[in-house]
Amino acid sequence: MLQNKQISKILKIIVPVILILAAIILLFIYPGFLLDSYGVEPLANRYYSIWDAKGIIEKLKPVDREVEQAFRENFIVDFDLQDSKKSFQGIVTSVELAKNDEIIQETTFNLTDQLLWGKYLALAGEPKEFKVWQDMIAKLYLNDQTWATQINRNGEILAQTEITWTYDLQYADVLLTAYNRNPGRSLKQHLEQIMERAWPYFSADKLTPNYQSEIERIFYPETSSTDKPTENPELINPYQDANIIRLSDINLYVLESFSLIDQKWQQPYEHWSKLIIDSIDSESVFYPFGIMPDEQNYVPTMETAFATETLDTIKIVYQLKSKQQNSNTEGFVNRQLIQTNNLYKTYNIVTGQNMSEQTDIQAMALFADHVVKYSSDSNEYTNSEVLASISAGLSTKQYKEKLSPLNKLFYESIDAKRLFNATDQLYVLISGIIK
């Protein structure tokens, strides 16, 4: 018994000494191995952004970024959580400026806006603030089998989805942005967890559709059978309900990044790259809205015949590599921007004429990101005619009233009111084109 006690005392002394010596030896042989950044590096396909320009973060502290400051003051709100020891903040959906200059906040919190804010923090924010943001997402939005897509100020779920792959890829895009700027083992571990969460969807025979819409029958694949019942044309519903895979939600950049981390993702990346590249011919401008689950039929537009959303096409352009681009698409967008300083929200997929009078702030900001991403430094894009046109066009959508807290933010006019959408502000912030 006495001998056992002596052995125990000796072990209590020896074990810590051995551990300390081992740590010293490892530090000597592998300096920095205890750091989170040890042994990891940015992925080979990382994008360049304006925020990578040397010294820009140091030169432009948050207080010097006018759009960011106005955004923080008007869109960031404290959650009122009853069962949480931690306090969190979120991005409200929109702010409205009424006729009497009253500012009205829409106090719902959409997941997409939170993810976009996370991406901005990864690009231009402080690592500590990004970590708090990660904790907020894990606490309020990310669940085992679902994503909460909208919550209220109390953290109560207003909407959620069990088809998680769309938001898995969006969240992964944020994590990849953070990882490629400041590589860390903890971020890589989070990425691997999201990869495993999304894998069952992309390894299945068919990807689960993520969008339900009414499609005009002229675009809906009909049966080829000649034995059809007699129909009364006056009673035919011109629309057909359909479950669709939205092509712009297939983030090819994220899938490629996954394949660089785990080779099993190479097949899904190549498969969806081919489907998206083959969805458009050299004479067309706009990518189709989606594809049917059988992957045999593309769906050109949703709901309104011939009306294509500009942002869907720009998202796909942004995700494709340079050699995968459809030159007709990029040429059309470049001409529109240089000639008019503008992109509209919807266009006729056949004629290329705009079907909306509303400027697509998000599409313009994202295309600015696209122009910059192939650069290696600021000298390559500083004199870009396209970027100058985007900047000029976006500035016309800024509210310019120095005495208003909404000064410098971007808006659209609806029924004599000015509506400031969080998503619009976030796309511009991420692009860095107007600071």
Environment class of 329 (CB within 10 Å of its CB; exposed 0-12, middle 13-18, buried 19+) = buried
Question: Is residue 70 within 8 Å of 103, Cβ to Cβ?
Answer: no
What angle is formed at CA 268 by the lines to CA 423 and CA 38, rounded to 5 degrees? 75
Res 417: pLDDT: 87
What integer pLDDT is reported at residue 247 of this predicted model? 98
231 token code pair: 């129909």
Q: What does DSSP assign to residue 410?
A: B
- Kindly state the DSSP code that residue 118 receives in the 8-state scheme: H
Q: Please spell the DSSP secondary structure of 176-206, one letter per residue.
A: HHHHHHS--HHHHHHHHHHHHHHHHHHHSSS
> E strands within 153-258?
157-161, 211-216, 239-246
Q: How far apart are CA 424 and CA 371, in angstroms?
A: 19
Q: What is the pLDDT along the chain (435 residues), one digit of tens a residue?
A: 546 666 676 667 777 777 777 767 756 666 655 566 677 999 999 999 999 887 677 677 776 789 999 999 999 999 999 888 889 999 999 999 988 889 999 999 999 999 999 999 999 988 899 999 999 999 999 999 999 999 999 999 999 999 999 999 999 999 999 999 999 999 999 999 999 999 999 999 999 999 997 776 655 554 444 444 445 454 556 677 889 999 999 999 999 999 999 999 999 999 999 999 999 998 999 999 999 999 989 999 987 889 999 999 999 999 999 999 999 999 999 999 999 999 999 999 999 999 999 999 999 999 999 999 988 888 888 899 999 999 999 999 999 999 999 999 999 998 878 999 999 999 999 999 998
DSSP tag of 225: -
Judge residue 150's burial from the number of C-beta atoms within 10 Å of its C-beta, 0-12 exposed, 13-18 middle, 19 or more buried. middle
Torsion of CA 26, 27, 32, 34, to 10 degrees: 60
β 298-299/290-291 pair status: antiparallel
Tell me phi and psi for residue 94, to 5 degrees. -160, 165
- Number of Cα atoms under 13 Å in the Cβ half of residue 289: 28
Smallest Cα–Cα separation from 358: which of 397, 300, 386, 301? 397
Distance from C-alpha of 167 to C-alpha of 198, rounded to nearest angstrom: 9
> Hey, what are 15's tokens?
């074990």
The answer to whether the beta carbons of residues 289 and 312 sit under 8 Å apart is yes
What's the alpha-carbon Rg for the chain, to the nearest Å?
Answer: 25
Please tell me the predicted confidence (pLDDT) of residue 225.
Answer: 44
In this prediction, residue 229 carries a pLDDT of 46
Nearest to 251 by CA among 168, 364, 323: 168
Name, in order, each residue with C-beta under 8 angstroms of 115's C-beta and a sequence gap of 6 or more.
137, 167, 170, 171, 173, 174
The reported pLDDT for the residue numbered 31 is 60
Q: How far apart are CA 295 and CA 119, in angstroms?
A: 31
> What angle do helix axes 185-203 and 165-181 make, rounded to 10 degrees?
150
Secondary structure class of 166 (helix, strand, coil): helix
Q: Where are the alpha helices (DSSP H) in 63-184?
A: 66-75, 111-124, 127-140, 165-181
Question: Of 122, 105, 104, 126, nearest to 114 (Cα)?
Answer: 122
Q: How far apart are CA 399 and CA 410, in angstroms?
A: 6
Residue 236: what pLDDT?
59
